Structure 1
Amino acid sequence: MNRLFFGDNLDVLRGLPSSSVDLIYLDPPFNSNADYNLLYGTKRGGPSQAQSHAFQDTWTWGRDAKRALDEVAERHLEAGALLDAFQKLFDGSDMMAYLAMMSVRLIEMQRVLNDKGSLYLHCDPTASHYLKMVLDSIFGPSKFRNEIIWRRSHAHNSGNKYGPIHDVILFYTKSDDYTWNRVRVPLDDDYKQSHYKYLDGSRRYKRQDLTGPGIRKGETGLAWRGIDPTPKGRHWMRPPSELDKLDERGLIYWPPKDGAWPYLKLFLDKNEGQSIQDIWSDINPINPVAQERLGYPTQKPISLLKRIISVSSNPGDVVLDPFCGCGTAVEAAEELKRKWIGIDVTYLAIHVIEGRLEKTFGRDIRQNYHVLGKPKDAEDARALAARDWLEFQKWSVMMLGGLPRERAGADGGIDGIIRYHRVGIEQPNRAVVSVKGGQHVGVDAVHKLKSVVDREKAEIGILICLNPPTVAMKREALSVGEVGPPSHRVARIQIVTVAQLFSRAPVDFPGVIDPPEVGRSPLPPVKSRRKRVEGQIEMLLPISNEAESSTLVKRPKRATREVAVEVIRPSRRDRAG
């Protein structure tokens, strides 16, 4: 099954089995221009928060880049030694971050490639020479096949330097026995006119030398028809016996001058096209009004990806694009009957790819792939809500540390439950969660949630909205009152927006000693912790787990976390103030 992953491609790559991919094409953001390579903008015209944050974390020097550098040193001797050398040149720079973060990912890509697999890394000349050294260290210099030059535009005005009109595509293979399908390209009209300028009746042909440089022993070094190429340091390209057969078929051109050397006739109507060379000038950039243009600033033409996929994979093979952007490689792989895996850091990209696939292949294409991953900012969350409301409900409840409902249908106003422990109360408390979408969520949603809280005997209710609440909704939520100990009373009905789900503490729990048990990482055990709680008078009791607290019978002793509490009572002067 084809898969679209939302998230950090390093995490996804680590989860893929070794030797499970036949072809990798990657077009990572170029280090040379961060603004130019941001993937998608928000509705207001700027980059999404997840995108900006991801670019900053990935391609600027910081903790993550240092961690990547250390990991490369631990996992790969040659690549680690190379990055050590780079660090002397680029220490603490964005280029060093770029190379470290790319290296740790390329190590994983080399692992997931099978023995017949190939990798194409699309980059610009700013860092291509450094990336080639990284690839040499990971794949081995002998696994380098080509540096492909793609002319991405015809002209570029760049002031006091030559116009940069090309990208670099580095081609490596996992082994010497790799998939290779010869693909030919049609001859252009100018080439036909300049080279196929001779006529044999009505057939156009060009002339090709029948000799090659160097003296050879054997038949190709013998004289033919009185002509000996050896004195001129050359040899026949074919044995004289084969040359006789070609002459009988009228494929040899004999110049009228005595003693002139013959040529081979190559007829235009027999030409199947030219083998692809390492300079690609026949694939034009996307026309501004082309149907395939999506508005993505660095979108590549689908013909470019079709060429790569056709040459280095077969139908049924798995194609991986770990920086899939607007999905050109994904669409090309689908059209060429390959399986595919796409990864991107922004859910908006996933959303665009899904729309692109549906436009090209119809709605049924959604049955042929899975989308995996979670949003990283409000824009991504809204895109998820638009695509799959049930998945959005589950995701938003889990963001609060709750258990979501697993099935669609009548939910009684409950989309999730959050269990938490309060100070001094052995029985866990509950919060019910209701998730509402649409543009016109109003006071009625608050009324319904209050009824659900009363019915379920829950302590608090949480209303998650796509958009900020109205003044009337806030007023109605406040009118429901507060719960909790005197030291920490909170609103019984709390309204949380999608943007707030990404904050540190979107919900205010009443007098909580432990955070919600679902969706959060467990705290590391500590010997003691000092809490300063203003006006707290409750004693802290050992807290049982949920299973133990379901009944008040005596249970065997279990390990508890010791908590030291300093009780501070405010003075009357403080109260009056």
Structure 2
Amino acid sequence: MDLDLAPATPGSTPWTPDGPNLVIHGDNLPVIAALPDESFRLIYLDPPFNTGRTQTRTSIKTVRSTNGVRTGFQGRSYETVKGTLTKYDDTFADYWAFLEPRLIEAWRLLDDRGTLYLHLDYRESHYAKVILDALFGRDNFLNEIIWAYDYGARATKKWPSKHDTILVYVKNPKTYYFDNLAVDREPYMAPGLVTAEKAARGKLPTDVWWHTIVSPTGREKTGYATQKPEGVVRRIIQASSAPGDWVLDFFAGSGTTGAAASALDRRFVLVDENPDAITVMRSRLGDRATFS
């Protein structure tokens, strides 16, 4: 089926705060650079992991300093931090040349009560924590969430890697929105150790989330290779946004953020440059979004 999708024009966006849910086909950096400051309560990002495989990208470098000195937000310097890290990992340097300007835009786009969730795996999460501490400020670090699962191939010469890391940073540590009581509860791992009433109600999640991956044969499966389970994203949206708030995901992939946001009465903007992702999102979201 020919969808006749042209990438979004750099420097322009059809998004308005009183408009419909939106899916934009295009390079995410120029698209998000055209969005107004402080437009979103929640940003969830699941960027491509730095697996060491060759990936072709067009990097756009953003410079937000004078006299050639790069500084982070609130005057924090992070060029030295990043430079030190790149001495240890050349692949890291390439990856963060791609991701860093997008994280700068994410900071700009969060409102004063906003939260960023950055979903990575073990290859980059430790680097990302150091960089984001300098970029957002250490006082703005809220959580390191471990999403643990038990599926897939098993390593025999090391402990099998069966978790992802989600780093959580807030725009303002004094005003950020968080409502853990709105989050779906989960079963106690040892229900016999609590009262029957508590066991029936379930417990509030901690920073370790046990949740299966998307079932290869389940109804949720879209066929998109990097699809994340709706239950994980749903929990993020429940805790860090309220009904009617705007949610942004500019590595949208299969559209899980849009599906979860729509089910929870949040508004959303999704961006992806992969035509296959747009095709999947058209099928998955249907008339719940306008496609641009």
Q: Same-fold call, TM > 0.5?
A: yes
Partner of 1:310: 238
Q: Distance in 2 between matches of 1:276 and 1:107?
A: 29
Q: Distance in 2 between matches of 1:71 and 1:87?
A: 20
Partner of 1:349: 277
Q: Give the alignment of 1:421-436 within 5 angstroms.
A: none
Deviations 1:366-396 (A, max 9, x none): xx53322xxxxxxxxxxxxxxxxxxxxxxxx
Closer, same or farther in 2 for the Cα pair 1:96/1:153, shift >3 Å? same
SS class of match (1:274): coil
TM-score between both structures, scaled by the size of structure 2: 0.83
SS class of match (1:352): helix
Q: Give the alignment of 1:71-470 within 5 angstroms.
A: 74=70, 76=72, 78-90=77-89, 93-154=90-151, 156-176=153-173, 177-182=175-180, 183=183, 185-188=185-188, 191-193=190-192, 195-196=193-194, 205=195, 267-268=196-197, 272-281=201-210, 283-358=211-286, 365=287, 369-372=289-292
Closer, same or farther in 2 for the Cα pair 1:155/1:290, shift >3 Å? closer
TM-score between both structures, scaled by the size of structure 1: 0.43
Q: Distance in 2 between matches of 1:152 and 1:270?
A: 22
RMSD between aligned alpha carbons?
Answer: 2.2
SS class of match (1:325): coil
Contact 1:30 1:124 in 2 (8 A): yes
Contact 1:69 1:100 in 2 (8 A): no
Q: Distance in 1 between matches of 2:129 and 2:203?
A: 28
Distance apart, 1:159 and its partner CA: 2.6
Partner of 1:22: 41
With a CA cutoff of 8 Å and minimum separation of 6, indicate the structure with the bigger relative contact order: 2
Deviations 1:342-368 (A, max 9, x none): 01011221121011112xxxxxx2xx5
SS class of match (2:22): strand
Deviations 1:132-165 (A, max 9, x none): 1111111101111111111132464113110000
In structure 2, which of residues 46, 50, 61 is the aligned counterpart of residue 68 of structure 1? Answer: 61
Contact 1:71 1:104 in 2 (8 A): no
Closer, same or farther in 2 for the Cα pair 1:105/1:75, shift >3 Å? farther
Q: Report how many aligned residue pairs link the two structures.
A: 264
Unaligned runs of 5+ in 1: 36-54, 59-63, 197-204, 206-266, 359-364, 373-577
Unaligned runs of 5+ in 2: 1-19
Deviations 1:83-141 (A, max 9, x none): 22233334xx3320111221111011000000100011000011100011111111101
2:24 counterpart of 1:5: yes
Contact 1:83 1:100 in 2 (8 A): no
Q: Distance in 2 between matches of 1:155 and 1:346?
A: 26
2:56 counterpart of 1:56: yes
Hey, which of these two has a bigger chunk of strand by percent? 1
Deviations 1:444-502 (A, max 9, x none): xxxxxxxxxxxxxxxxxxxxxxxxxxxxxxxxxxxxxxxxxxxxxxxxxxxxxxxxxxx
Contact 2:186 2:205 in 1 (8 A): no
Distance apart, 1:71 and its partner CA: 6.2
Higher CA-based Rg? 1
